[in-house]
A and B are shown apart, each in its own frame.
Chain A
Amino acid sequence: MSELIIHPGLVLIGGAFVLPWLHGRARSAVVLLLPLIALASVWILPDGAVWQVHFLDLVLTPLEGGKLGRLFATIFAIMAFGGGLFALGQKSRVELSAAMLYAGAAIGVALAGDLVTVFIFWEVMAIGSTLVLWSAGTPASYRASLRYLMIHLAGGVLLFAGVTGHVASTGDVAFARMDTDSVAHWLIFAGFLVNAGAPPLSAWLPDAYPEASWSGTVFLSAFTTKAAVYVLLRGFPGHELLIWVGLFMVFYGIVYALLENDMRRILAYSIVNQVGFMLAGIGIGTEMALNGAAAHAFTHIIYKALLLMSAGSVLYVTGRRKCSELGGLFHSMPLTTICGSIGALAISSFPLTSGFISKSMVSQAASDGGLLIVWLLLTAASAGVFLHAGIKFPWFVFFQKDSGLRPPEPPASMRWAMVLFAFLCIALGVWTEPLYALLPYGVDYVPYTAAHVVTQLQLLLFSGLAFFLLLPWLKRTLTITLDGDWIYRRFLPRWVRFGSRGFDTLRGGVGRATTAALGWALFQIEQRSGPQGALGSTWPIRSMALWVLVLLLAYLGFYYGG
Chain B
Amino acid sequence: MNQRHWLDDPRHVKLLWRLFLAVLAAVVLVEPFVRLHPYFAIEGVFGFHAWYGLSACAAMIFVAKALGMLLKRPDTYYEEGAGDDE
Q: How far is the CA of A367 from the CA of B16 in the complex (A)?
A: 36
Encode B71-82 as 1/0 by CB contact (under 8 A) with A.
111110110001
Contacts of B7 in A (CB 8 A): 330, 399
The answer to whether A474 touches B61 (Cβ under 8 A) is yes
Question: Which of A16-24, A42-50, A352-360, A455-463 interfaces with chain B?
Answer: A455-463
Closest-by-CB residue of A relative to B36 is: A451
State A55–B60 Cα separation when bound (angstroms): 52
Any B CB within 8 A of the CB of A143: yes
Residue A493 interfacial (CB < 8 Å): yes
Residues 20 to 71 of chain B near chain A (Cβ within 8 Å): 20, 23-24, 27-28, 30-31, 34-37, 39-40, 42-43, 47-54, 56-61, 63-65, 67-68, 71
Q: Are B57 and A463 in contact (CB under 8 A)?
A: yes
Q: How far is the CB of A423 from the nearest CB of chain B, in Å?
A: 25
**Distance between Cα atoms of A204 and B73 in the complex (Å):** 18
| Pairwise interchain contact B24-A473, C-beta atoms closer than 8 A | no
Whether the pair B60, A258 counts as a contact (CB closer than 8 A) is yes
Tell me whether A209 is interfacial, beta carbon within 8 Å.
Answer: no
A143 to B42, CA, bound (A): 50
B1 CB-CB contact with A under 8 Å: yes
Closest to A324 in B: B75
B65 contact set on A, CB distance < 8 A: 473
The listed residue (B20, B39, B50) touching A459 by CB distance below 8 A is B50
**A233 vs chain B, min Cβ distance (A):** 24
A107 on the B face (CB < 8 A): no
Instruction: Tell me the smallest distance from the CB of A172 to a CB of chain B, in Å.
Output: 41
Count A-side interface residues using an 8 Å CB cutoff.
62
Q: Tell me the minimal C-beta distance from A263 to chain B in angstroms.
A: 13
Which B residue's beta carbon lies closest to that of A387? B57
The answer to the question of A504 belonging to the interface, with a C-beta cut-off of 8 Å to chain B, is no
Whether A470 contacts B61 in the complex (CB less than 8 A), given A454-B34, A493-B85, comes out as yes
4 new A-B pairs (CB below 8 Å) besides A143-B86, A458-B28, A458-B50?
A: A258-B61, A463-B53, A463-B54, A474-B61
Chain A residues within 8 Å of B, Cβ to Cβ: 139-140, 143, 146-147, 251, 254-256, 258-259, 261-262, 322, 330-332, 367-368, 370, 372, 375-376, 379-380, 383-384, 387, 399, 402, 406, 449-451, 454-467, 470, 473-474, 477-483, 489-490, 493, 497
Q: List 24 A-B contacts (CB under 8 A).
A: A143-B86, A254-B60, A255-B64, A376-B52, A383-B56, A384-B57, A451-B34, A454-B30, A454-B34, A462-B50, A463-B56, A463-B57, A465-B20, A467-B57, A470-B57, A473-B61, A473-B65, A478-B74, A479-B73, A482-B73, A489-B85, A490-B85, A493-B86, A497-B84
